[in-house]
Amino acid sequence: MPSPYRALFAAPGSKGFSAAGFLGRMPLSMMGIGVVTMVSQLTGRYGLAGALSATMALAAAVAGPQVSRLVDQYGQRRVLRPATLVALASAAGLLCAAHFGWPDWSLYVFSAGIGCVPSVGAMIRARWAALYRDTPQLHTAYSFESVVDEVCFIFGPIISIGLSTAWFPEAGPLLAACFLAVGVFWLTSQRATEPAPHPRERHGEGGGSALRSPGLQVLVATFVATGAIFGAVDVVTVAFADEQGHKGAASVVLALYAAGSCVAGLVFGLLRFKGAPEPRWLLGICAMAVSMIPLLLVGNLPFLAAALFVAGLSIAPTMITTMSLIEQHVPRAQLTEGMTWISTGLAVGVALGSSVAGWVIDAAGAQAGYGVPAVSGAVAVAVGFLGYRRLKRPVPRRGGTVEHHSERQERHVA
C-alpha cells in the first residue's frame, strides 16, 4: 500500500471503524441483487423480483437522509442501532414471506422496511472528516473510501448471486443482513472516533434539511443523472451479453467497470491539487458523459469490457471531489445528511435509468439501450454547467458549519 494510505491508518481507531464500515457497506451491493435472485428462483416472477428491488431502493432514498439527519443530531450509536434493527427485522420478514409464499403485499411492506438501512458509507466518511478535517489526509481518506465502495460492488453481487444459486435461494440476502448487523454494531461500539452530535443545530442556523443548500441541490440533481448512467449501464450490459449468447459474462464485464473506478481512486488519492475543486468536479462529470459515447459503437463483449473499464476511470475521482464539495456547501452539523443526499440522488437515478433502459431494450434491442446512459450523461453535464455558479458560493464559515473556500482551499485538498 502506498505510503499516504499507510499514514492514513496511523490515527488510533481508524483501522477498526474502516473495517466495520467495509462489512456494513457490503449489503448495499448484495441485498438488491440477492432479493432479485431469491424471488426469481422461488417464484419464477422476474417482474415481481425487480419491483421489490426498486421498492427497497426508493424506500432507502426516502428514509436514508432522515436517518442521517437524526445521526447528525443525536449521534451514530443512538440512531444507527435502532434503524438497523428495523431493517434487519424487515429483511427477516421478507425472507420468511418469500420462503413460505405469503401474499405479494407483504413482500412490498418488508422491502420498504429494509429502506431504513443506514448509509454506512456516509457514517465512515463523517468519521474521517472529524479525524482529518482541514488536512491533506482527508483527500486520501475520501479516495480510499471510494475504492472500498468499488470493491464492494465488484465482489458483493458475485457473492450474493453465487450463494443464492449454489446453496439455497435465501442465502444471498441472509448473508447481506449478517454483514449489516456485524458492521453496524461493531462500528457503533467504537465511541472514540464517533463524530460529536449537534443536538442544538436543529433549532438554530443549522436547522432544516441540508438540501436547502443551493450547492448541494446542484450536486444531488447532477447525481440523479449520474445514477441513471449506472442503472442503465447495468441493465443494458446484461441484455447485451445475453444477446451475444454469454449472459454469464455480464458480471465480469461490469466488474471491470468497477475495477476502472477502483484503480482511478487509488491513483487519485496519491495526488495533491491546488486551487478550487469546482473545475475538477465539472471536468469529471464531462468525462463520465463522454465515456458513454463509445458504448454506442460496441459490437462485441471484449470491446464492451475495454470501453467500460475506461469509462470507470472517471467515476471515483468525480465522487471524491463531490465529497469535498459537500463539506463546503453544508453546515458541519449536517455533514452526514449531506453525504447521504448524494447517495439518495444516485439511488433515484439508478431506479430511473434501469427502468428507462429496460423499456428501450424491449422496444429496440440492447445496443440501442446504450443511448440511455449517453443521454443521461448529457443531462448531467447540462445540470452541472447550469448550476456551476451555485457551486462557487459555499456556506460561510460559522460556528456550526463546514466552511471554507478561497485561500484556505488553496492550501488544502481538492
pLDDT top residue among 149 and 127:
127
Give every CB contact of residue 215 below 8 A, 6+ residues apart in sequence: 325, 328, 329, 390, 391, 393, 394, 395
Which pLDDT tens digit goes with each residue over 366-383?
Answer: 888 899 999 999 999 999
Query: What phi and psi values does residue 139 have, to the nearest 5 degrees?
Result: -60, -45
Which pLDDT tens digit goes with each residue over 61-91?
Answer: 888 888 988 998 898 999 999 999 999 999 9
Asked if the model's pLDDT at residue 45 lies above 80, the reply is no
Alpha helices in 75-136 (DSSP H): 76-100, 104-114, 120-132
For the chain, what are the domain ranges?
14-190, 209-414
Tell me the pLDDT band of 395, cut-offs 50, 70 and 90.
Answer: low
Count other C-beta atoms under 10 Å from residue 196's C-beta. Answer: 9
Which pLDDT tens digit goes with each residue over 280-296?
Answer: 999 999 999 999 999 99
What value does the mean pLDDT of the chain take? 83
Q: Of 1.20.1250.20, 3.90.550.10, 3.30.930.10, 3.40.190.10, which CATH number belongs to 209-414? A: 1.20.1250.20
Total residue count of the chain as it appears in this document: 414
Vertex 257: Cα angle to 307 and 175 (nearest 5): 160
Tell me the pLDDT band of 311, cut-offs 50, 70 and 90.
Answer: very high
Asked if the model's pLDDT at residue 200 lies above 60, the reply is no
Q: What percent of the chain lies above the pLDDT cut of 70? A: 91
| pLDDT in the model for residue 43 | 83
Q: What is the mean pLDDT of residues 386-406?
A: 56
Name the burial class of residue 60, with classes exposed (0-12), middle (13-18) and buried (19+) by CB atoms within 10 angstroms of its CB: buried
Q: How many CA atoms lie within 13 A of 313 on its CB side?
A: 11
C-alpha 303: how far from chain center: 27
Query: Would you state the CATH architecture of domain 14-190?
Result: Up-down Bundle (1.20)
Asked if the domains 14-190 and 209-414 are classified in one and the same CATH topology, the answer is yes
